[in-house]
Structure 1
Amino acid sequence: MRALEYRVMESNYDFISHLTGFCRVLREHGLLIGPLETSDAIRAVSMVDLMTEGRIYWTLRSLLVSRHEQLATFDVLFARFWNFQPLPRVKPPPNPSNKFGETRTTGRVPRALALPEEDHESKDTLIQLVRTGASGRHVTSETDLSVLDTQDMSELSRIASRIVRALASKPGRRRKRHRRKGTPDLRGAMRMSLTTGGDPVRLPRMRRVPKVPRLLVALDVSGSMDRYARLFLQLMFAVGQHTKRVEAFVFSTTVTRVTRELSSPSFSEALTRIGGAVTHWSGGTRIGESLADLNTNYDYLLNRHTTVFLLSDGWETGEPDDLAQALRRIQRRVRSVVWLNPLLGTRDFQPLARGLQAAAPYVDHFVPAADVEHLKRLPALLRS
């Protein structure tokens, strides 16, 4: 029997306090974790009734680890956290920067915790928590996005270019003359022969020009997505550098169009403008209502030439039926719906969130998107 199993059976055991202490130690070891991240971790663990060690691991890793080089530290400390071994303490770095954590306050988190149950098949501990769901509150704040990391911009630019080319792979109606490829252009040959007195000339050819893709990108900026906002904003900006036929939105408890802000000359300027324009950063999650808003107020952007990218972890506080209905309407109108999920592909991932279950029939592609390596696979998937 694991050490945790002994502790959870004790009447004075408090899992929330134990998790809070784990987050504090992670911060001392260099991870950017503050009250915001700690609150999100508690809320995420509380989202599912029964969570095994594996599920708790990838849930916390997805929220608390922002860089690949932090994984080794997290894995070592998580093993000690789970088995109730002493956690090594270090002096925290001075003045840690965590702008996202400083821009919102968190409400009271329910602390009720039931006794564990035994899963006889997996021999793993199951912890049952009171379901609180994703936050439904609206948080008003102006987020300083200038702290976002831009070191992956060059790689994201290459990925964005390949995404645009993949979506433009199908030929359109417009034709363009080509020296070697395409079908013979008899009319063009006749016109060219007029300049040579009717003598034979080189047979020109015409080929169809690939369609310029139309994209609509909707990014979830609720609290559970804070850790991934920087990556997805960089991707959205990079896509906009390769095609002007892209519309950008962010949503949490409401939806905001940020196409104009994202078209700024530089990424840093785009971040500044978006941070000032959006007042619902790190709020709750109402995916269904937000997509219904898109259907109602921006229906003219949704047509058979549009590919919709939804960037979200799928945690939903609204009704799953509302999400299903909104996605069904979108899918009927557009070319395809692609859902990029940062949790997909992580260890022991299961689509337990109600939003993911409701959306499944109306999404053409579910794509893992926790980091740049995952995003590299996206163009090939879109081309297939």
Structure 2
Amino acid sequence: MEEEKTIVKIANILRGLGRNVGVDETIDAISALKLVKDRDFETVKAVLRATMIKDFAVNEDKQERRQEIENKYSVLGRVTDRPYLANELYIYSPAESKIKTTIFQIENRDMIIWSEIAKRLKEITLNYEGHRFKVKESGELDMKMTIKDEIKYSLESPYLVKHRRKINKSYIILLCDISASMKDYIKEILLLSFFIRRVTNKSEIFYFSTDVKRVTNFFQVGSINEIDMKKLVSMVPYGSGTRIGEALYTLRKNHGELLFRKCSVVIFSDGWDLGELDLLERELRNVKHRCKSIIWINPLMDKPSYTPDTRSIKIALKYADLLTSPNVLLKNKIEGKRKVISLSY
């Protein structure tokens, strides 16, 4: 009797969401469950899916109510009630969750913050000597500038001008974690991807969770409003689990030509890895050997209560040249290729 009441409640919820679930579907579900002996969660879910929703059409009269419920229980994105820039982006969850996410707004402040973070990452990853020179005390003697100064000071200049080649190129591979644990940072991921592509065209962008997808072409646009969100989400497994080691292995296997000595790998992830940790360590070691540097940005480090206790983060500490958070990148100037651990305690 109790299970019949539960089935009726589920049917009422589905009707409230606009699904065409009638008396026949409810009776079929009750009858099917009586035939099932091993009632584990997955079996019950499969029975309900097969019997209760036979017509996938949605009642248009209840569309507005359904939208409110979906927004309330969304799986990705978040809403802000502060003044915002008129950029509304829609994110859809994967087919497994069957829930459309809420709309989130990108504020002008967000654009400024992530533009600065992208510029800071470019500064950190500069590595290629160009044709231009800049004055430097530890550089080579610049005879041309020294003679010019001699003429300026009537051949009595006490200075010898030295110079070094400007380092003016940055090669970046951006790996963004879009698993369920990162659902509150989807807006930040989009902004970081957009501005990394803006500040340097020598960049490639990949999104990963249980799989890894190259999404660089989606961010080759002049405005964030021009990003084709529906197409982007259709090919990327938003909201799944996280397998960072497998993602790095797939990247090396399918796009190994992108990993070279002048390239820096930037990982934007909270480090909650559900995959094999031995594989993660092996792949980070390979990336470290092949590339200039590894920069790991963990948004959770901006929280005062955060501690690096997960095993994946401890592995990252061995190989990352820089483990930091968005706020630290924004506020502090970080120079040199050295390991800097910045935790927000």
**2:177 is matched with which residue?**
220
**How many Å apart are 1:348 and its aligned residue?**
2.8
- Counterpart in the other structure of 2:113: 155
Within the candidate set 376, 379, 382, 2:330 is matched to 376
SS at match of 2:204: strand
Match of 1:361 in 2: 318
Instruction: Describe the SS at the equivalent of 2:242.
Output: coil
Contact 2:146/2:161 (<8 A) preserved: yes
In structure 1, runs of 5+ residues without a counterpart are: 1-31, 41-63, 70-96, 106-138, 191-199
Distance in 2, Cα, partners of 1:328 & 1:155: 31
Indicate conservation of the 8 Å contact 1:240/1:262, yes or no: yes
For residues 262 and 186 of structure 1, what CA distance do their matches in structure 2 show? 45
Partner residue, 2:132: 176
For 1:114-153, list aligned pairs within 5 A. 139=96, 147-151=104-108, 152-153=110-111
In structure 1, what is the Cα distance between the partners aligned to 2:134 and 2:237?
A: 50
1:211-258 residue CA offsets vs partner (Å, 9 max, x unmatched): 301001000001110111211220221121111011100001100001
Partner of 2:207: 250
Aligned residue among 96, 99, 103 for 2:93: 103
Distance between the aligned counterparts of 1:143 and 1:167, measured in 2? Answer: 37
Q: Equivalent residue for 1:20?
A: none
Q: More relative contact order in 1 or in 2 (CA 8 Å, sep 6+)?
A: 1
**Other-structure match for 1:35:** 73
Q: CA deviation at 1:298?
A: 1.2
The one-letter amino acid of 1:329's match is N
- How big is the shift at 1:295? 1.3
CA displacement 1:109-151 (0-9 Å, x = unmatched): xxxxxxxxxxxxxxxxxxxxxxxxxxxxxx5889779745243
- Give the equivalent residue in structure 1 for 2:288: 331
Q: TM-score, normalising length from structure 2?
A: 0.61
TM-score, L = length of structure 1: 0.55
Specify the SS of the correspondent of 2:169. coil
Do the aligned partners of 2:245 and 2:276 also contact (CA within 8 Å) in 1? yes
What are the equivalent positions in structure 2 for 1:262-341 lying under 5 Å apart?
Answer: 262-270=219-227, 272=229, 275-341=232-298
From the superposition, tell whether residues 274 and 344 of structure 1 become closer, same or farther in structure 2 (CA, over 3 Å): farther
What is the distance in 1 between the residues matched to 2:328 and 2:257?
31
Q: SS at the partner of 1:310?
A: strand
Q: What is the letter of the counterpart of residue 176 of structure 1?
A: R
Taking a change above 3 Å as real, the CA distance of residues 271 and 243 of structure 1, as seen in their structure-2 partners, is same
Greater share of residues in strand: 2
SS in 1 for 2:227: helix
Work out whether residues 71 and 101 of structure 2, in 8 Å CA contact, stay in contact via their aligned partners in 1: no
Distance 2:202 2:186 in 1: 22
SS of 1:376 mapped into structure 2 = helix
The question of 1:351 aligning with 2:300 is answered no
Q: Secondary structure at the match of 2:272?
A: coil
Distance 1:148 1:226, change over 3 A: farther
Separation of aligned partners in 2, 1:347 and 1:36: 26
Q: Aligned-pair distance for 1:262?
A: 1.2
| 2:122–2:199 contact (8 Å) kept in structure 1 | yes
**Aligned mates of 1:332, 1:342 — CA distance in 2:** 26
1:368 counterpart letter in structure 2: S
- Percent pairwise identity: 26
Q: Corresponding residue for 1:165?
A: 123
Structure 1 residue 185 displacement after superposition:
5.4
- After superposition, what is the alpha-carbon deviation per residue over 1:266-324, rounded to whole angstroms, capped at 9, x for unaligned? 11222526634533011111111111101111111111211111111111111111111
* Cα separation, partners in 2 of 1:317 and 1:189, compared to 1, 3 Å: closer
Aligned partners of 2:278, 2:177: CA distance in 1, in Å?
19
CA contact (8 A) 1:367 1:378 kept: no
Of structures 1 and 2, the larger Rg is shown by 2
Change beyond 3 A, Cα 1:145–1:241: farther
Report if aligned partners of 2:174, 2:267 keep a CA contact under 8 Å in 1.
yes
Listed as ranges, the matches of 1:79-94 within 5 Å are none
1:304 and 1:217, CA in 2 relative to 1: closer, same or farther beyond 3 A? same
The change in CA–CA distance for 1:315 and 1:177 in structure 2 (over 3 A counts) is closer
**Structure 2, unpaired ranges of 5+:** 1-69, 83-87, 148-154, 339-345
Structure 1 residues 144 and 272, CA, compared in 2 at 3 Å: closer, same or farther? Answer: farther
Instruction: Indicate conservation of the 8 Å contact 2:179/2:239, yes or no.
Output: yes
Alignment of 1:167-246 (within 5 A): 167-168=125-126, 172-176=128-132, 183=140, 207-246=164-203
Cα 1:310/1:260, change in 2 over 3 Å: same
